[in-house]
Every structure is written in C-alpha cells, then in structure tokens.
A = this chain, B = another copy of it.
Amino acid sequence: MSPIPLRQRRKEARPQELLDAALALFVEKGFVATRSEEVAARAGVSKGTLYLYYPSKEELLKAVIRQQLSSQIAAGALEVERYVGPTSTLLVEVLSRWWQGVFDSPASGVFKLVITEVRGFPEIADFYVQEVIEPGERVIGSIVQRGIDRGEFRKLDVPTVVHSLVLPMVMLCLHKHSIGACAQHKHDIDPHRFIRDHIELMLHGMQTSPTAAEAPRPAAKAKATAK
C-alpha cells in the first residue's frame, strides 16, 4: 500500500524533523546556547547531516521561524467576510480557534524565539511583521471594524483594540516558555480560562450596549469573581 520506501520517506521527512527539533531546542535554551549537534541528535541524525539540509545554524533558525510563520498566516480572513451574525461571536470564534491552535502546540514557542533573537538577526523582524503581525492585525482589525461599522462596538481606535486583545495572548505564550516552564511557577495561571475571561472583559469594554456583549453565550450564567 505504501509505495514509498522507508528510507526515502525518512529522507523527505528530515527537513521537518530538523525544524521541529530546532524549534524545541531554540525555544528552550536560546539560539546561541543550543549546539547544532543537539539539534541533529534530537532529530535522530548526525551533526554532518544537519549541514546537508541547512547551510548554517543561522539559516536553520530562519527556516524554523519562517516555517512556523507560514503556517500561521492561514485561515481566518475568509471566514470574516462570509460570516453572518453578531461580531462579538465572530471575534470570540476567531480568537479562540487561533488560540487553540497555537498555545498548546510547539508553535507557541516562536513568539519567544522571535522576541529573543530578532536583535541578532533583524531580517527576522521583517518577515515576522509581514507574515504574522500584519496579517494577524488585519484579520482581527477587520472584525473589530465590522463591529464598529455595524454599531455593535463603540467607535474605538481599531489598532488599540487589536493590541489590547492580542498582546495578552502573545504574552501568555512567552510566559509558557519562560517562567511557566520553571517547576515552581507552572500553574500560576490557567491560560485558557484567562483568555476566555480576557476576551469577555474586552468585549464589555468595546460594546455599545452592555446587553449585546452577552449575546455570544446564551446558556451562560453568573460567575463573576470566583477565583
């Protein structure tokens, strides 16, 4: 049934395996502190082999980031256009979906990687801005705009709202891979719960009429402050 011999399958899988290994290690230990041999070892190949696929550790770093970003651009944009229904629901929907896909996956590490390494490789900034920040802000921004246009949201400064919405999410990803990864401080926050609450809180702040804010979750009931 599988016409492709194992050897060849491995060979084709190599680049991805190397990228995965590199992502994990770069995020964990930092780019400089990660030895290229470790990356190779984690990918199950030898030091030399790594250099067959990537000409240098630096290129490997860029490839890691590029690849993670490409997969992020994705989705969403279309959804917005087609969607009918309350904007708050749409916003919750889009942010949640993205959050689900990112936070628990290794992809959450790219944020740390970018923050940590851009200064050393400013090219990274360019494609990060182009591939993630801008498209991301455009999508979220367009939703917010839709809410404003439809009178659901107050007339707010769109970029501000977008940042207020998104920065905590990014920050949680960073936390996960830094302090959150240190034994004692693992469970200080429940990220999924926080994000849910955060969005809700934001919606409150954005909405014209308080009632509208509740729309997305009909079955919900009072919960307020319970810690």
**A interface residues with partner B (beta carbon < 8 Å):** 28-33, 88, 92, 112, 114-120, 122, 125-126, 128-129, 133, 148, 154-161, 163-164, 167-168, 170-172, 174-175, 177-179, 181-185, 188-189, 192-194, 196-198, 200-211, 213-227
Contact = CB atoms under 8 A, between A and B. Distances in A.
A116 B159 contact: no
Contacts of A120: 29-30, 33
A214 B206 contact: no
Given A118-B178, A203-B205, 10 more contacts: A28-B119, A32-B32, A114-B178, A155-B225, A167-B171, A174-B174, A196-B227, A204-B206, A209-B215, A210-B214
Nearest to A168: B167
Contacts of A213: 154, 208, 224
B185 A125 contact: yes
A220 B225 CA distance: 6
Contacts of A30: 30-32, 116-117, 119-120
Contacts of A219: 222, 226
B224 A178 contact: no
Of A128, A200, A219, most buried by chain B (CB within 10 Å of CB) is A200
Given A29-B120, A205-B201, A214 B222 contact: yes
A118 to B, nearest CB: 5
Contacts of A160: 193-194, 197-198, 201
15 contacts: A32-B32, A88-B224, A129-B179, A129-B184, A129-B185, A154-B204, A154-B224, A164-B202, A167-B167, A167-B171, A197-B225, A201-B205, A204-B204, A205-B206, A210-B215
A223 B214 contact: yes
